[in-house]
Amino acid sequence: MGESIHLPVSCNKDCGAGCPLMADVVEGRLLRIRDNPLRATHMKGCVRGYQMTRVVYHPQRLSSPLVRSGPRGSGKFREVNWDEALQIVSDGLQRIRATWGPESVLRLGGSGSCRGALHNTALLTRRFLSRFGGYTDITGSYSSGAESFVAPYLFGPGYVRRTGIDAATLSHSRLIVLWGANLADTRFGSELAPRILEQRRRGVPVIAIDPRRSRTIEDLADRWISVLPGTDTALMAAVLYVLLSDDLVDRSFISKCSVGFEVLERYVRGLDDGQPKTPAWARGICATPQEAIVELARRYGRIKPAALIPGLSIQRTIGGEEAIRMSVALQLATGNIGILGGSSGSNVWGRLPEPRCPQLPVPSLPRPAQIPVYCWPDAVLQGKAGSYPTDIKAIYSVGGNYISTGSDVHKNIRAFESVELAISHDYFLTPTACYCDVVLPVTTYLERGDIVYPNTNHLLYSHKVIEPVGQGRNDYDIFCQLADRLGFGQAFSEGRSAEQWLEHFMADSEIPDVDEFRRIGIYTGAEQERCGLSEFVSDPQAHPLDTPSGKIEIASKAYADLGFTDIPSWRGYQPTLEYPLYLITPHARFRINSQYANDPWFVLREKQRLWMNPRDAEARGIEDQRVVEVESPQGKMRIPVRITEGIMPGVVCLLAGMWPRIGADGIETAGAANVLTSTVPTQPSQSSRTHSVAVQVRPA
């Protein structure tokens, strides 16, 4: 056997974790990925990271630049050299800028590499297009847009990054509630699921609330409570009703730390609208048994400390903003905010400061043009006539597959077909790349070095362990070469190579020994049991929040000024007679959004099926594994069905992320869930509502 090397690496991907891994390389070829042996005990990678060799050496990996030679979407391209490809891109961008102005270029992408200090597809593209003279940017997030929007109204904008917990604090929890949080598949850091599993083995009760029996419920929880999608706010209100009725709320804590709770209490008791939010009321909305609601509330109210961890799924619904506000209200009412073993009730994903280390800076623009990411195809198709800030003539997509991952695939395709120029950086010919004019092959994280920010109090160093496959180049180097052609090369690179940028970042970081950091791949922050809002809770006068009151604002006048209720209240979405079933589209275990959907090894381990309850199947004459037709107002698909008690009646489930395969009849057959979803967002955040989808299912 030839020379063997072992170097620390970390996935620079949009999976919610960021794991310390080790790459084994023999004679310049990647052999395997495994956990870094120097990691903390609970920091564990996942099958997607361990199987990265399949991506690096995939037979469909792009090996040279491509220029479209047929209609958009046909998949017809010709291979060209880098000089020709870069010249076509620079000429096209110059033409668009001269004719329509720089803001006619829309930036898409960003999740392909999202954890790196330098090789960060969102930061790199923003920096490049800022130096280009401007662009139209996407704002918000498919993942957590509604939560990110409402958090400042609760905690103030300055405290939003201080509301999470370190996973180690769960060792103090006596109860853990996972509300729509499938942590076994959708990771919120490499430590969180192992910590919860450890607590369960110690006898700590773990309750999971979800419309389906996910892998989290199988592996981490000891109690499953079912709830219809998008009705979580109503269920939470009923839990609060029981807490109030049984005198299980902490009045002194509420008074010390918040304002407006008395307004919420009036709503829950029905003093203004005449409708108490009782478990019986909630049952009619949520289909959650009344006795399960009462049991949940009493258990939750009597056991302390309790960590309520909401998943991102509960805010990806119509009215999802209110679910997060009500979740915070529950943790406040029970005195579980800011204490070890508790949580804030808001998103735990990246809600604490990371160790100090700079990232690639992005110049600010005087008047940035912005559109909500959830509505990007509408902005492209409607432009200024539809009250969007710009008329989009070009799309620059780096590290994104928005035709697949954006809602309403048919509309996404029309948007790409409507522009004059579309450019993609990727390492596969994705559905999005197929609708582009130029596709530039890029490196994976294993073919370049970087500093990676995980969702823990660590920094990770990820080495370049192999040479680029084929003609793949780093996004940074591609932008440097394009910037040179467009006349702002020095302004973009500041004269630094990629390696020099990394040295610059580390020299200005808190890392005391850079050589040691490179060697072991892990820098551990000083504190590993941080609890967000603990200083505020210990002394609200000495450490006030930057809300108008200085406290947690359960009733927010600023939020009411947007045209919605000042306190969290249920405003849901219900199916119709024509489309009577709720559809949920959760993340898959073997995909990161749409990544890995083109690899048979991953696809065969999680076959794409429509989950359906036996009662719903029997009512429609549907048999297990038979092909069914699924229809929503946005589109149709045909897919085999999986009949299972693992999904509650009235709900069907289709895992997100498959690449669409649409026939001449317009019917999708690969199981791409976003053929069925809508770009009409939840308000006021203008964010994702992909769990508020109504469908009909029939035998095909």
| Cα torsion 648, 652, 655, 657: sign | negative
pLDDT digits (tens, 9 = 90+) for 168-215: 999 999 999 999 999 999 888 899 999 999 999 999 999 999 999 999
Looking at residue 243, what is its pLDDT? 98
* Sheet containing strand 206-209, strands side by side: 223-225, 206-209, 175-179, 306-310
Looking at residue 160, what is its pLDDT? 80
pLDDT level of residue 349 (50, 70, 90 thresholds)? confident
Residue type (1 letter), 376: W
Angle subtended by helix axes 232-245 and 320-333, to nearest 10: 20
Looking at residue 375, what is its pLDDT? 97
Tell me the fold of 146-348+547-560: Dimethylsulfoxide Reductase; domain 2 (3.40.228)
- What is the distance in angstroms between the CA of the first residue and the CA of the last residue of the chain? 55
Residue type (1 letter), 503: E
463 phi and psi, to 5 degrees? -80, 155
pLDDT digits (tens, 9 = 90+) for 62-117: 999 999 999 999 999 999 999 999 999 999 999 999 999 999 999 998 767 888 99
Please give the Cα distance from 276 to 237 (Å, whole number). 9
Looking at residue 84, what is its pLDDT? 98
Tell me the fold of 1-57+449-466+511-538: Phosphorylase Kinase; domain 1 (3.30.200)
Looking at residue 2, what is its pLDDT? 65
Segments making up each domain of the chain, as ranges: 1-57+449-466+511-538, 66-142+369-442+474-507, 146-348+547-560, 581-699
Average pLDDT of the residues in 448-453 = 96
In the DSSP assignment, the letter for residue 646 is T
Q: How many CB atoms lie within 10 A of CB 157?
A: 12
Residue tagged 């996910």 (tokens): 214
For residue 304, pLDDT over 80 is answered with: yes
- Cα torsion 71, 72, 77, 82 to 10°: value is 130
Residue tagged 């999904």 (tokens): 647
Looking at residue 457, what is its pLDDT? 94
Residue tagged 């890392």 (tokens): 511
* Sheet containing strand 77-79, strands side by side: 77-79, 66-68, 438-441, 421-426, 394-398, 105-109, 136-139, 369-372
Provide CATH code, domain 66-142+369-442+474-507: 3.40.50.740
For residue 654, pLDDT over 70 is answered with: yes
pLDDT digits (tens, 9 = 90+) for 493-543: 999 999 999 999 999 999 999 999 999 999 999 999 999 999 999 999 999
484 contact partners, CB below 8 Å, separation of at least 6: none
Looking at residue 367, what is its pLDDT? 85
Looking at residue 110, what is its pLDDT? 74
Write the class of the CATH domain 581-699. mainly beta
Give percent of the chain with pLDDT exceeding 70. Answer: 100
- Return the structure tokens found at 18: 């960021």
Give percent of the chain with pLDDT exceeding 90. Answer: 93
pLDDT level of residue 319 (50, 70, 90 thresholds)? very high
- CA proximity to 206, closest of 303, 319, 64, 85: 303
- Return the structure tokens found at 219: 């592996």
Q: How many CB atoms lie within 10 A of CB 396?
A: 23
Burial 252-274 (b: 16+ CB within 10 A, else e): ebbeebbbbbeebbebbbeeeee
For residue 1, pLDDT over 60 is answered with: no
Average pLDDT of the residues in 38-58 = 93
